[in-house]
Structure 1
């Protein structure tokens, strides 16, 4: 396994809809090309940012296909295939392999509180369905399950498991997973608000829901950390956090705000799907201010 292709900045890909709220091939491919032009390492497709729990199986396959058609061979592609049932997750995994994805990833099973042996079997059943490597997704604030070191070690015994996308808030978790992993285990920092801290604690890469709103800033932050320019890295993390706080300060869902900001910069990828809350007319001017802040921060570091 060529682990180097999993090291870098991976925007969590947004769901792209047309004017009536259906998955749009045109807009999906426009977003792929936009991010490719920013020189990100790869894309994490079909996760929270992709509104996966609000899409049916066919819609999720559409997005996987559209992204692969435009990005395969140009970007490292990770398919998130977590779904309410093992059957659907396996179907998505097999489809992602057919489309040429580089790796699979999944949250643990949601809704029911399952014992760890059931969570382990769920992930193993997904892995058994394809030959692709697998990345665990730990996001306890939405799934209700905090990945334990015991289960992590059991999972790492499987040669297909190459890493973990850790979105728990304690930065210590990154250090613990890195220390308990295999020699080449890839740890992805999840919380965008602590990207720099996560990298310093051992994260090799980052996957984040706000990356596509400001890829230039995360690429520069990663560059600073790699170069050992820690004061500069801390300063750019502050600017990133100021923007994230603004993005989450409105009534609209954060992804709706990001999509409106991208629209104001010329990239139209639709809104969000209910029950996520769309942008209201009275919020447009506030989003213009956020967009200006993003543009000013990018200009500062170019």
Structure 2
């Protein structure tokens, strides 16, 4: 059995931006403190939700170094080594290890349309470049490629390929991964609306977008299940289902950043080519945030832009 990277809910953190589009490290510091206070089990930095595709390598490295320092060893920091350039992915892995990351996330190479053998060789090369445990990231809806179960089986035989973030939404595939790989490959759900079903198939938790808003509640979905209180876990899963779905009413991370702004946590907007939600969609998201009691300031849905201008200050008072 390989060492477990984390058990429970890891938050795929957003990357907060200033009005000029630069990273707001003051805001990020508050977001990290919020996650630590409210029982996040790990954080993923600079992933899809963190707008990795719109960050330079320099920014990604600075973001990782800052997060490692801010977390202070309290929970694992999972850094991004994903690239569709195998040599670059391997290079990133080594750099992230030197920065003090606890584990790495490696997405399937996008656009290249690699074969299953190509995927195997890509991940094998990345694993050889670092001693850190690696979480494979399978998200066919964004990359256009799916890791086959046979390929998972082969990859699970590599010592430091420890887990997979399975975001295909295919429970038949997830069951087959669990059956074929067993303890050699931990499974993490990549979908907030499917946490409990994934746990039922033996998953060790979730890498979550929803927990940017409610880390303690997403942690509780997992913790209750592990404690044997499946009914409580299921209750929270269903109770927050509408909120989880609302965060994917537009391309991730557009809605989650807008939701955090509605909560008074001034994370700014997304970098182009991602842009603000349409006003009507933002108004619907606002109603959902209000329904769950998360909106922390008055807002007029008819306004053209929906970003809060308020700086993040008393984040510890949220909830």
Report 1:36-185 matches (<5 A).
36-183=36-183, 185=185
Q: Which residue of 2 aligns with 1:247?
A: 247
State the SS of the aligned residue for 1:295.
coil
Once residues 182 and 256 of structure 1 are traced to their aligned partners in structure 2, the CA distance between those partners, rounded to angstroms, is: 36
Deviations 1:218-259 (A, max 9, x none): 12211331233333322222222211233344xx54523322
> Conserved in 2, the CA contact under 8 Å of 1:172 and 1:201?
no
Cα deviation for residue 295 of structure 1 reads 3.0
Report 1:21-32 matches (<5 A).
21-32=21-32
Q: Which residue of 1 aligns with 2:310?
A: none
State the SS of the aligned residue for 1:68.
helix
> Conserved in 2, the CA contact under 8 Å of 1:104 and 1:134?
yes
Note the residue ranges of structure 2 that are not aligned, 5 or more in a row. Answer: 295-318
Note the residue ranges of structure 1 that are not aligned, 5 or more in a row. Answer: 297-301
TM-score (norm 2): 0.85
> Conserved in 2, the CA contact under 8 Å of 1:79 and 1:96?
yes
TM-score (norm 1): 0.89
Q: Which residue of 1 aligns with 2:270?
A: 272
Cα deviation for residue 14 of structure 1 reads 0.9
State the SS of the aligned residue for 2:290.
helix
Cα deviation for residue 285 of structure 1 reads 4.7
Q: Which residue of 2 aligns with 1:299?
A: none
Once residues 247 and 123 of structure 1 are traced to their aligned partners in structure 2, the CA distance between those partners, rounded to angstroms, is: 30
Moved over 6 A (4+): none
Instruction: Pick closer, same or farther for the CA change 1:256–1:145 going to 2, 3 Å.
Output: closer
State the SS of the aligned residue for 1:3.
coil
Question: Which has the higher mean CA deviation after the structures are superposed, 281-290 or 142-151?
Answer: 281-290
User: Which protein has the bigger helix share?
Assistant: 1
Cα deviation for residue 282 of structure 1 reads 5.9
Deviations 1:135-173 (A, max 9, x none): 111111211222112111111111111111111112232
The alignment of Structure 1 onto Structure 2 pairs a total of residues equal to: 295
